[in-house]
């Protein structure tokens, strides 16, 4: 069940895009955001998954998941304080974790651990992509 949990966030476009965007935004904001935003997303996702296993209703969670992808894509162009960014990422993480848990009626600890582990991959890819994008922009600016 760990393996199926691991692949779950990689197979859903909304979850994949959200994790990539969190990593990319963290790289873009730089400094402490590089570690704090991904950690906030993972911790909030784990909390949301626990809520999902304990309850059957978190109103608006699906809309929040879709909205989070759109908001994160917009946020890539915005510079905000780390506390604001971490708060947004945490809110979205709770929704994503909750939805992961309720989508899998068989969600057990192994499955949910797999979901968390599977989310790390796109977070890291987002961080690396963001760092590469920043380096490319800086390089082109110094040549101009």
Reported pTM: 0.85
Place of tokens 């476009």: 13
**Tens-place pLDDT, residues 3-16:** 988 998 888 888 88
For 120, the enclosing helix (H) or strand (E) is helix 109-143
Radius of gyration (Cα) for the chain, nearest Å?
15
- CA–CA dist 46, 43 (Å, integer): 5
pLDDT per residue, tens digit, the chain (144 aa), is 889 889 988 888 888 888 998 999 999 999 999 999 999 999 999 898 888 888 767 677 777 777 777 777 777 777 788 999 999 899 889 888 888 787 776 667 788 888 889 999 999 999 999 999 888 888 887 775
110 in Cβ contact with 3 (< 8 Å)? no
């Amino acid at each position: 069940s760990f393996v199926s949990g691991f692949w779950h966030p990689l197979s859903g476009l909304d979850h994949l895009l959200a994790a990539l965007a969190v990593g990319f935004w963290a790289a873009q904001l730089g400094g402490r955001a590089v570690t704090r935003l991904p950690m906030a997303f993972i911790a909030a996702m784990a909390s949301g998954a626990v809520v999902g296993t304990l309850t059957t209703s978190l109103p608006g969670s699906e809309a929040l998941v879709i909205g989070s992808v759109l908001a994160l894509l917009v946020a890539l162009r915005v510079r905000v304080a780390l506390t604001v960014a971490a708060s947004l990422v945490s809110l979205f993480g709770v929704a994503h974790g909750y939805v992961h848990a309720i989508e899998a009626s068989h969600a057990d600890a192994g499955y949910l651990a797999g979901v968390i582990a599977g989310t790390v991959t796109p977070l890291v890819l987002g961080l690396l992509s963001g760092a590469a994008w920043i380096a490319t922009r800086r390089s082109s600016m110094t040549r101009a």
